[in-house]
Amino acid sequence: MRVKKIFSLLRKVDWGRTLYFNMKYFPPKVAIRLPFLIYHRTDLYKMQGKIVLNVTPRLGLVKIGPHGLGTQDVKYSRTMWEVSGTLVINGKANIGRGCRISIGNGAVLTLGDKLTITGRSSIICQKEITFGNDCLLSWDILIMDTDFHNILNENGKVINQPRPIHIGNHVWIGCRNTILKGVSIADNVIVSANSTITQRVSESNCAIGGIGRDATILKKGINWMQ
């Protein structure tokens, strides 16, 4: 079984881009361990900023672009890496095929241990986005801490500055969700499918769902298992 996994890995990983990626971001003694594995059909659109490893580097600590979504078009779906800011790694992470990781200049994206993004989701960080440990993201999810375009009041002051997003430990975000700027989600929360979260979720051990200000707690005292 282990031999099969090794051969499967050899076929699916783009070893040329993997080597280039690791040599770009890390000193040789770290890069040689290949902590990042870059899978086929991953576009390294922008490779600036830096990556901070807060754990011991090892082979495949972070996987970028593996296929893990049965309904996804494997042939044409592509993963995008667009980074000018800082990515902080606190443990193992799996960022699936078709995801878009965008970190703006001066922004910080922090990934906790055992993060899984199934695929086809976008994380757009222009200020600060933080994930705790043991988080699971489904597919077709948008998480962004910015509106991109400025909105001005009558005095010409910008009233929609980017605001941080903080997602706690053991949070499951269902498919087709949108998480917008300023949101903070407590530990052990389930965000039900097709919701838009715009406000703080301060209660742990609950399921929440709905759109914007109409989002409500659907169930309390729950837990979930991967």
For 79-88, letters b (16+ CB in 10 Å) and e give bbbbbebbbe
Report d(CA 16, CA 142) in Å as an integer: 30
| 3-class secondary structure, 116 | strand
Tell me how far apart the alpha carbons of residues 178 and 137 are, in angstroms, rounded to a whole number.
11
72 falls in which pLDDT band (50, 70, 90)?
A: confident
**Alpha carbons 217 and 127: distance in angstroms, whole number:** 28
- Residue pair 24/59 in contact (Cβ under 8 Å)? The answer is no
What pLDDT, on the 0 to 100 scale, is given for residue 4? 61
Handedness of CA 44, 38, 193, 111 (dihedral sign): negative
Percent of the chain with pLDDT over 90: 84
Rounded mean pLDDT of 34-47? 96
Give the span between the Cα atoms of 172 and 43, in whole angstroms: 27
Strands 62-64 and 165-167: unpaired
Contact predicate 33/25, CB 8 Å: no
pLDDT in tens, 152-165: 899 989 888 999 99
7 band by pLDDT with thresholds 50, 70 and 90: low
pLDDT score at 68: 77
pLDDT > 70: percent of the chain:
96
| CA nearest neighbour of 12 among 33, 39, 46 | 39
Q: Which domains does the chain have, with CATH numbers?
A: 2-220 (2.160.10.10)
Over residues 165-198, the pLDDT tens digits come to 999 999 999 999 999 999 999 999 999 999 999 9
pLDDT at position 225 over 60: yes
